[in-house]
Chains A and B, each alone.
Chain A
């Protein structure tokens, strides 16, 4: 059996989610904007899912807007918030944000907006002194800070960042894609004004996500036309995916503690094994991290080569974020944390899920031990 240790890239669909989706994939369903009965049934199903997603993150259903995924949510949050602010108001974002935040910030910069990176330390945590200085240097429209990093799993102190942002009149956007379903996420407690979620990271379908938005926050839409999602996100609603997202969110909430405890136990086992192997660097291990994620480098191995060697043994891991895999570039996250390029090139990420087993961890460690011997011999 292949081993799948890439749950931060995507997760398998929970069979209970698929079951809920199949009911509307095959059944008589309509365009939710049509007024006839099929359309009304579709609308009811969408509203039920909206409540389920809201409940996962302690938000109100009317604060949840469905999108095609987290990339769109992040684009909508950043582009939408900047478009409704004076030209001088800046965007601040963490150095280890997801490419959908980094690239959107770059596009905004190209369009003439002022955008600034906020540095992180070697542990991946925000550099608070730098952050406060940047906040104090003129108007800031939005701070984009992820709750948990997709590569290292490092958890940022978003509530603190939000308090500081709010004190300067700035909004805070939190990419909670990796945090949701792995640690408790509460929209209010985070102090966020905007928050991105993705279904396919929590055992839901690909192609659907959400932007959670406080009512008072004014955003310009990314897409124009049709008026769905109160004009914030037009387009015919992706009904089966939205229904699937709802069920996945409900399961994530119900099973959060069990999933987290299971992953934490396996990860501790894995990290203990890695340390026994020696010559291993675990990134961000002094910071609070997600219970399922380990990013590490094995001395003597390049990440891409190690990834391919593991793949040949039927073990799927990642060398960083899925989007940038195979580009031959070292992880921007590790570079942002100040690790040298050689070490960053060596990184691979293991991300566990509730279906991961002790046997898989043992097999993985055994394979790694063999490869380490090979690497040492080479």
Chain B
């Protein structure tokens, strides 16, 4: 009998599994770090919460962190967003949609709310952005 691949026994889509297991950029910036804008979103249905922190330098994201409480997909969404955001300017950040997140992470229909959670967290960052985010 064939054994299921050892490292992903629950058969999550590969991008989700990889990000969930490695969770790059997990954590947060020390309070008061210059240029940091924090956005948070939650999905009441799934009782998940995502906090995204982007540190801006000269109008672009220089570094990013995330924290998440929720299923592996919502954690992977946070990790992907934090990695993707680095180097982007505000206009590029504003262009991200939940659909793109779903495509990048191969998020299945029943987890679509996790992609919305990611989009909401990014929107929350953009909403709190000062006119000139550069320090």
Contacts and interface: CB of A to CB of B under 8 A. Distances in A.
- Do A and B touch directly, given a CB cutoff of 8 Å in the complex? yes
Interface of A: 23-24, 27-29, 35-37, 40-42, 44-45, 243
B6 A29 contact: no
B9 A36 contact: yes
Contact of B11 (A28, A40, A243): A40
B1 A40 contact: no
Contacts of B11: 40
Nearest to A23: B1
Contacts of B4: 37, 40-41, 44
Most A-side CB within 10 Å, residue of B1, B6, B9: B1
A28 B10 CA distance: 17
Nearest to A243: B1
Given A35-B9, A35-B10, A40-B4, 13 more contacts: A24-B1, A27-B1, A28-B3, A36-B9, A37-B4, A37-B6, A40-B9, A40-B10, A40-B11, A41-B4, A44-B1, A44-B2, A45-B1
Q: How many residues of B sit at the interface, in one of the four size bands?
A: under 10
A247 to B, nearest CB: 12
Interface in B1-59: 1-4, 6, 9-11
Nearest to A45: B1
A67 to B, nearest CB: 22
A46 to B, nearest CB: 10
15 contacts: A23-B1, A24-B1, A27-B1, A37-B3, A37-B4, A40-B4, A40-B9, A40-B10, A40-B11, A41-B1, A41-B2, A41-B4, A42-B1, A44-B4, A243-B1
Closest 7 CB pairs of A and B: A37-B9, A37-B4, A40-B4, A24-B1, A45-B1, A41-B4, A41-B3
Contacts of B10: 35-36, 40
Contacts of A24: 1
Q: Is the interface of A mostly helix, strand, loop or mixed?
A: helix
A93 to B, nearest CB: 40
A41 B1 CA distance: 7
A243 B9 CA distance: 21
Contacts of B3: 28, 37, 41
Nearest to A240: B1
Contacts of B2: 41, 44
Contacts of A27: 1
A34 to B, nearest CB: 10
Most A-side CB within 10 Å, residue of B2, B3, B10: B3
Nearest to B5: A37
A275 to B, nearest CB: 51
A37 B6 CA distance: 8
A89 to B, nearest CB: 39
Contacts of A36: 9-10
A121 B102 CA distance: 66
A281 B84 CA distance: 85
Most B-side CB within 10 Å, residue of A29, A41, A42: A41
A363 B115 CA distance: 76
B43 to A, nearest CB: 23
Contacts of A35: 9-10
Interface string B63-97: 00000000000000000000000000000000000
A19 to B, nearest CB: 12
A65 B6 CA distance: 29
B1 A29 contact: yes
A319 B11 CA distance: 53
A28 B3 CA distance: 9
A42 B2 CA distance: 9
Contacts of A44: 1-2, 4
A279 B21 CA distance: 80
Contacts of B9: 35-37, 40
